[in-house]
Amino acid sequence: MTDQSNPLPFDSFMNPSLGKYTKIYRDSIENPEKFYEDAGWVLDWYSKWETIIDRTGEPYYRWYVNGKLNISYNAVDRHANGPRRNKAAYIWVDEKGNEKIVTYRGLYRRVNALAKALLEMGVKKGDRIAIYMPMIIEEPVAMLASARIGAVFTVIFSGFGAEAIADRINDCGAKLVITADGGYRRGKFIPLKETVDKALEHTKTVESVIVVKHTGQPVSMTEGRDYWYSDVINDKEEVEPERMDSNDPLFILYTSGTTGKPKGVVHGTGGYGVWVANTMKWAFDPQETDRWWCAADIGWITGHSYIVFAPLILGLTSIIYEGSLDYPGPDQVWKIISYYEVDILYTSPTAIRSLMKYGDEYPKSHNLSSLRVLGSVGEPINPVAWEWYYEKIGNSQCPIIDTYWQTETGGFVISPVTGIGTTLLKPGSATLPLPGIDPVILKQDGGEAAPGEKGLLFLRKPWPGMMIGLNNDDKKYRTLYFGRGKDGYYTGDYAIKDKDGYYWLLGRADEVLKVSGHRIGTVEVEDALLSTGLVAEAGVFGKPHQIKGESIVSFVVLKSDSRMEPSVDAIKEKVRQKFGPLLVPDEVHIVGSLPKTRSGKIMRRIIKAVYQNDIPGDLTTLESEASVDEIKEAIDKFRNEMDGN
């Protein structure tokens, strides 16, 4: 259970005090124009905005209206042409200990060279490009090169399979793909180019593919379509950055929701840049000489905002790690921290819990004294993991910055703010809203929840980092996020506000799971199961998991026409091949029928209740109760098998 009454006294190193935060926060809410005017100057602009916010298209908001800028200029050029030119922008490390250090000047060269190549290959402002890469320096280079010429990029997480890639490419109409021959994870080769080839069999818009030679493993290259990265770039080239409008789209990032197909969240340029850079300063207070390690993948929003844009805009040095935090040994992460003297580590509760499981001797055997601040993201952090992180990793001296946010919010919205005050932390609470953020917890009936009462979290005021829309989906944007009018933006999360005004995030209120911090829709998994061709009906839900937060449980009815009855393993393998490991359910239970309403809707609520041995509640809407007995039988059989093992 979360302990809401017992905050830890953190004032010893939290400086300045909460007083400053309170004033900044109040100013941001009472006088947002002035507040955001100052915040805007974290970026350099070709020409200044005319107004801070345009609300005429509500619930679409436009920030820093008519301001002109280029985010690659802000992230790269202004450092590459100044005193930071020889500072490391990135230290890349892999599981084997290989290392590559790229300075801001070096990054400038790479970004320009690739930007030129993209132009020569016919990519123009507004065109879409897809990026499917391992965690290598060329990944941020690809994002920045795209931004430099005004193309809109979509990064597809390298754990996704061919069908997931094709869906995303088709939704955004990408013209070009940047990938690599492959990558490594846990010592295993990941054939990225091969997967792209399979995906492109189902797309029509892609004209060219640029392939980074990273592993040296053989890949097939299609004449006239595929080009080696090294053949298309020329280090001497320079490209004038495109003057972008503040509200031009910068990227599209697909994320799971309540419906089957992932939604393409579109982020803009100016407001997004302002938000990620400021929130990083407010929350983590990074210093000029720090080594910042955000251990997320660039394929998710955390990597976009806090490996690529915020740290580069602020001119910091980041670690980029290609690999798994516990491979080749359980102390890999601690080894890297002590070797590079990392100052700030930012990772997920799942990572913390799995590292905790190995025991204290691993962190103890390394010198972690360089750490000054620790961060957490992606899912609620349970107090036990929080305390272990705080005591064993931070030596009871580093604040834990539990950042609550989402793909759609662009950057942090609720988080401790070491950069602008806050005195108390409570293990398990993301603490207080960032400046400009106006959270409210509402009950189903629309009334405000009392302190300590669970409700739905809304953010009443817009903020610069929020998405500018959904790709090709105005209806969902309006209904899913802003369907309750004056209540503002709906997060989809349950939360509690305690009597001290601290926020406790309690997980998703919708059909979205958080598995190892990855956001996965139950309907998305059901669709993946159906698309194997082996399954006729599927019902999916999440169950609590000690390390991963949640695991995926599915009940399926097989297609009657399949000649041979497929095994659970065959179903899982088919999902893996098509969509990647992310969507593979941990449990697949084969049953003869699933509980459905009379109108034919599968009732996940009932399957889950039976699974959990809860009384499933009202069954009157069920088409037939027989399916409930079948589920019970399948579960009993499964549990007996597990016990027998």
Binding site for ligand PRX (CB under 6 A): 255, 301-302, 377-380, 402-407, 430, 491-493, 505, 508, 514, 519
Nearer to ligand PRX, 133 or 512 (CB): 512
Nearer to ligand PRX, 109 or 519 (CB): 519
The CA distance from 343 to 460, in Å, is 35
The closest of 283, 457, 466 to 375, measured between CA atoms, is: 283
- Tokens 């409210």 belong to residue: 440
Judge whether 361 and 369 are in contact, CB under 8 Å.
no
The CB-of-192 to ligand PRX minimum distance in angstroms stands at 22
Nearer to ligand PRX, 373 or 610 (CB): 373
The CB-of-287 to ligand PRX minimum distance in angstroms stands at 23
The CA distance from 30 to 34, in Å, is 9
The CB-of-283 to ligand PRX minimum distance in angstroms stands at 11
The CB-of-504 to ligand PRX minimum distance in angstroms stands at 9
The closest of 298, 342, 292 to 136, measured between CA atoms, is: 298
Element (H, E) at 465: none
Nearer to ligand PRX, 227 or 254 (CB): 254
Nearer to ligand PRX, 112 or 415 (CB): 415
Judge whether 483 and 490 are in contact, CB under 8 Å.
yes
Nearer to ligand PRX, 332 or 415 (CB): 415
Nearer to ligand PRX, 229 or 489 (CB): 489
The CA distance from 163 to 578, in Å, is 5
Judge whether 335 and 366 are in contact, CB under 8 Å.
yes
Nearer to ligand PRX, 317 or 406 (CB): 406
Nearer to ligand PRX, 200 or 325 (CB): 325
The CB-of-301 to ligand PRX minimum distance in angstroms stands at 5
State the distance between the two ends of the chain, measured CA to CA, in whole angstroms: 32
The CB-of-241 to ligand PRX minimum distance in angstroms stands at 28
Amino acid at site 302: T
The CA distance from 423 to 20, in Å, is 10
The CB-of-291 to ligand PRX minimum distance in angstroms stands at 22
The closest of 282, 251, 546, 545 to 403, measured between CA atoms, is: 282
The CA distance from 97 to 138, in Å, is 18
Which stretches within 58-103 are classed as H helix?
A: 71-72, 78-80
> Per residue in 555-584, is it b (16+ CB within 10 Å) or e — as a string?
bbbbeeeeeeebeeeebbebbeebbbebbb
The CB-of-644 to ligand PRX minimum distance in angstroms stands at 36
Nearer to ligand PRX, 108 or 458 (CB): 458
The CB-of-77 to ligand PRX minimum distance in angstroms stands at 28
Query: Residues, the chain, total?
Result: 645
Tokens of 286: 């990074």
Element (H, E) at 111: helix 104-120
The CB-of-156 to ligand PRX minimum distance in angstroms stands at 14
Tokens of 186: 């846990």
The CB-of-208 to ligand PRX minimum distance in angstroms stands at 30
The CB-of-588 to ligand PRX minimum distance in angstroms stands at 24
The CB-of-634 to ligand PRX minimum distance in angstroms stands at 30
The number of beta carbons lying within 10 Å of the beta carbon of residue 143 is 29
The CB-of-342 to ligand PRX minimum distance in angstroms stands at 20
The CA distance from 273 to 260, in Å, is 30
Query: At 620, is the secondary structure helix, strand, or coil?
Result: coil
Nearer to ligand PRX, 403 or 554 (CB): 403
Element (H, E) at 153: strand 152-155
Judge whether 404 and 503 are in contact, CB under 8 Å.
yes
Judge whether 320 and 135 are in contact, CB under 8 Å.
yes
Report strand pairing: 439-442 vs 291-294: unpaired
Please report, for residues 297, 458, 539, 631, the alpha-carbon distance to residue 529 in angstroms, rounded to integers and kept in the order given.
26, 33, 9, 18
Q: List, in sequence order, every residue forming a beta bridge with 179; answer none if it has no partner.
A: 132, 211
Nearer to ligand PRX, 302 or 423 (CB): 302
The CB-of-217 to ligand PRX minimum distance in angstroms stands at 30
Q: What would you report as the CA-atom Rg of the chain, rounded to the nearest whole angstrom?
A: 24
The CA distance from 529 to 9, in Å, is 49
Judge whether 394 and 371 are in contact, CB under 8 Å.
yes
Give φ, ψ of 101 to 5 degrees: -115, 130
The CA distance from 393 to 294, in Å, is 15
Nearer to ligand PRX, 308 or 535 (CB): 308
The CA distance from 210 to 226, in Å, is 6
The DSSP output letter for 72 is H
Nearer to ligand PRX, 132 or 405 (CB): 405
Nearer to ligand PRX, 293 or 404 (CB): 404
Nearer to ligand PRX, 64 or 404 (CB): 404
The CB-of-509 to ligand PRX minimum distance in angstroms stands at 9
